Structure 1
Amino acid sequence: MKNIVLFLIVILLAIIPLFLQGDAEFGGADGKAEEMIGELAPSYEPWFKSIWEPPSGEIESLIFSLQAAIGAAFIGYVIGFGRARKKYSSKE
């Protein structure tokens, strides 16, 4: 029961801001940093250009999500492996 309540709270925390700020634009830190650099140093020239730019924002979000999922899977594997090793090494 406790897990269900916690899950519902997490879902509400994700959904409520979308309704409260429906017309707001949820930008990332990259856009804010670029905007601030433009204000502080308008003549700033980047050191290098990207090798490949995603064709759209959706593709960029997909790649970011895949990166997060792979990272979460890796962390889950390491934690699970450590717990299993601890569990089975103590029984011998």
Structure 2
Amino acid sequence: MKKYIQKNQNIFLLLAIIAIVIGVFAYVGESEFGGSDGHAEEYITQANPDYEPWFSSIWEPPGSEIESLLFALQAAIGAGVICYVIGYYKGRRATISK
């Protein structure tokens, strides 16, 4: 019974996180924050007006805060995976050496 409750709790937390992220996308809309990507694009067009990008984005976030949120989320997921792997192998080594 405990495993069933724990599994449902994890699913509920995952759905809550997804709802929060979708809510942020819907609520924020257009924003004013400018990052280094915009400055780089301006500099490139000033330095070489004939420059054509190699590719274009499939989807543009509605604002740069959303873009920053996605970047931070990507960094957090990557750090979580790396820390999990390090912890897994450290724990595995600790149990093998006993």
Give ranges in structure 2 of 5+ residues lacking alignment: 1-32
Letter aligned with residue 55 of structure 2: F
Give the direction of change, closer, same or farther, for the CA distance of 1:89–1:61 in structure 2 (3 Å limit).
Answer: same
Separation of aligned partners in 1, 2:96 and 2:77:
28
Give 1:42 shift: 1.2
Give 1:28 shift: 4.1
Letter aligned with residue 84 of structure 2: Y
Q: How does 1:5-24 map to 2 (within 5 A)?
A: none
Could you tell me which residue of structure 1 aligns to residue 70 of structure 2? 63
Could you tell me which residue of structure 2 aligns to residue 3 of structure 1? none
Separation of aligned partners in 2, 1:57 and 1:27:
6
Percent identical residues: 64
Q: Aligned to 2:94, what secondary structure does the other structure show?
A: helix
Separation of aligned partners in 2, 1:66 and 1:78:
18
Over aligned residue pairs, what C-alpha RMSD do you find?
1.9
Give 1:41 shift: 1.1
TM-score, scaled relative to structure 1: 0.61
How many residue pairs get aligned? The number is: 66
Contact 2:34-2:64 at 8 Å conserved across structures: no
Q: How does 1:42-81 map to 2 (within 5 A)?
A: 42-81=49-88
Runs of 4+, deviation exceeding 3 Å = 26-29
Higher RCO by CA contacts (8 Å cutoff, separation 6 or greater): 2
Q: Aligned to 1:37, what secondary structure does the other structure show?
A: helix
